[in-house]
Amino acid sequence: MIKIRVISDGSSGKEHESGLTRYVLPAVPQAVLQRHGARVLRPAEAAVAKGWPKPNPTIYRYGVLLVPRRLLDSATIVTLNRVLTDVGMRLVRPDATDDQPATSDDDLDAKLPVAVELGVAGTFKPQAVDAWTALQRLRAEVTALREACDSGASTDTAALESLAGVVDAISLDHLLVGSATDGSSSTIVTGTNTASNGNPDLNNLFDRPAAGTSGRIPVTVALADPGQIYMGQNASRRPVVAVLDTGIACDPEHPWLTPRVERGANGHEDAVVIVDTELQKQLEAEHVGERLLSIASYADEPSIEEPLLGDLSTHAGHGTFIAGLIRQLAPGAQIYAVRVMQPDGFAPGSDVVNALKKIAYRVRRAQSGQADGQAVDVVSLSLGYFDESADERNVTIALEPVLRELTELGVTVVAAAGNFATSRKFLPAALTEKLTDKAAAPMISVGSLNPNGSTSRFSNEAPWVTCYASGAAIVSTFPAFAGAQNAPARTGRRESFDPDDFASMFGVWSGTSFAAPVIAGLVAARLHDEAGRHDRDQNSAARVAAAHAAWENVLKDAR
């Protein structure tokens, strides 16, 4: 039985507030950092501009900064590059940007930052290209101008206000990590606690469900295919849950996740999974910086991270597992599978924001009756990051506005609370503190419960966690992947249990990654009978009311 626990008085995590000491991030393998062009920001080593807060650890892409599109005019870039010259860096203005500030008929697009590449300035200087260093140099310039104006050495307050406004809007491109535990068979054996492994607990062999040395294990199920149930009697379509993750099993397709169709194709009405090749190609084409593995395909692959070792990647199968949970809990819903995460469990924040922005655009098009739109009722996010400081002025500059846009359109957003056993804010889940407008659909952050109803030891727990749901030792769909571990004993066709052969296409896994889609599926199920009824309403009030009613109905039966 699925379990839910809701903290109605906001007390969850209060006992931990005075001890937010879990600031040390688990180790991130160098191969992962290199793959994503990323670094760990280490407070003891980080340069900090005068007047700005000392950072806490975070993971960021060193070759890019996030700059609002409206600021990408040539004059602004020239000003910023003049400041950056003395640290040997420059912002490489995107080729597609005209001399005038970029505009769009999409209002959201104008609000959001885009990734802008950093390069070496002029004559090469022995200075590594680094986004944090560049950001601190820009902030230092603002501080110097402010001090000059305050002392009377300068009267150019207009220049100060202009530069301060620009620099305040620039931020790091954080690397988001998925929230499944013990994804790698080698993680527990070596004792290395990687970011994709969750809570760094040396006793994890005993604290988590395990077969041999893997927390993600194959199982056989005797359950029938959930089937595609009837469309709701007052519905014009099926409820749709967008899953931004590692993609969907394709070769072979999972029998519980078929039929699969392209967005807008014939037969769309009764599909279980909707994929969007056009969107995937756009996300790949618009990615800034190097990437070793493309996301132009929606397929949940490859399964093996290092062919010479053969271990399954930590988050291979992650998106398929999430899709299966939604399928079980909302068998009449459709899953809109959007690939943003690599099988190693990481995704650039700029890619995630770009995907959310494009989904919001498709939702608006659908609500205005356009054939190229795509209705979405719930967004499920099982990934996140720690910001470098609670005092940062703009750390949520990208995620907050796009999630606000979605909720204002009537889309419920459900986010995993994270697996680091901390009350430190994990974004986007911690945005529940800000996205509380009753005139918008709910944003829900979800921690994990064990099968007995207790809070999972790995789960984050804090006042910003909305609720807790079953997330440990939970069963769902999995691609037919097979890793390098063999059955310990084999004779002919007889063998002992093979802990990483998923030929059964089902598995057991744990993490707040899976508690979040439990809630997303339950909400979608409550929308089933009247899905799409208010799609064409000119204002979103009815859609927002339906979203709140669905969530309230889940809470009435919190079992």
The domain ranges of the chain are: 37-169, 176-189+207-223+234-387+397-488+498-529+544-556
Q: How far apart are the first and last CA of the chain?
A: 7
Q: Distance (Å, rounded) from C-alpha 206 to C-alpha 194?
A: 18
Rg (CA), the chain: 23
Task: Using DSSP bridges, classify how beta strands 378-381 and 240-245 pair: parallel, antiparallel or unpaired.
Answer: parallel
Q: Which of the following is catalytic: 109, 207, 245, 344? A: 245
pLDDT in tens, 403-416: 999 999 999 999 99
Q: Distance (Å, rounded) from C-alpha 538 to C-alpha 381?
A: 28
Q: Which two tokens stand for residue 443?
A: 């944003």
- Percent of the chain residues past pLDDT 70, beyond the cut: 86
Pairwise pLDDT comparison (47 vs 284), residue with the higher score: 284
Q: Which two tokens stand for residue 531?
A: 């899905």
Query: Which of 325, 319, 358 lies closest to 339, judged by CA?
Result: 319
Pairwise pLDDT comparison (30 vs 239), residue with the higher score: 239
Bridge partners of 241, per DSSP, are: 335, 378
Cis peptide before 259 (omega within 30 of 0): yes
245 classed as catalytic:
yes
Q: Which of the following is catalytic: 36, 287, 318, 528? A: 318
318 classed as catalytic:
yes
Q: Distance (Å, rounded) from C-alpha 268 to C-alpha 307?
A: 37
pTM over 0.75: yes
The pLDDT score that the predictor gives to residue 526 is: 96
The pLDDT score that the predictor gives to residue 197 is: 60
Q: What is the mean pLDDT of residues 512-540?
A: 94
- In this structure, are residues 121 and 89 in contact, taking their beta carbons and an 8 Å threshold? yes
Query: Which of 543, 229, 557 lies closest to 378, judged by CA?
Result: 543
CB atoms < 10 A from the CB of 73, how many?
15
Q: What is the mean pLDDT of residues 247-273?
A: 92
455-481 in b/e form (b: 16+ CB < 10 A) is: bbbbbbbbbbbbbbbbbbbbbbbbbbb
Query: Which of 106, 114, 110 lies closest to 70, judged by CA?
Result: 110
Q: Distance (Å, rounded) from C-alpha 34 to C-alpha 305?
A: 13
Q: Which two tokens stand for residue 2?
A: 């699925």
Provide the mean pLDDT of the chain. 86
Nearby residues of 222 by Cβ (< 8 Å), 6 or more positions away: none
pLDDT of residue 98 exceeding 50, the answer is no
Query: Which of 398, 387, 420, 383 lies closest to 177, judged by CA?
Result: 383
Q: What is the mean pLDDT of residues 122-147?
A: 87
Query: Which of 173, 164, 209 lies closest to 188, judged by CA?
Result: 209
513 classed as catalytic:
yes
C-alpha 504 chain-centroid distance = 28
Thinking of the domain 176-189+207-223+234-387+397-488+498-529+544-556, which architecture would CATH place it in?
3-Layer(aba) Sandwich (3.40)
pLDDT of residue 285 exceeding 80, the answer is yes
pLDDT of residue 455 exceeding 50, the answer is yes
Q: Which of the following is catalytic: 184, 513, 528, 534? A: 513
pLDDT of residue 210 exceeding 50, the answer is no
Within 13 Å and on the Cβ side, how many CA atoms surround 91? 31
pLDDT of residue 343 exceeding 60, the answer is yes
Residue holding tokens 């079980």? Answer: 328
Give Dmax (Cα) for the chain. Answer: 87
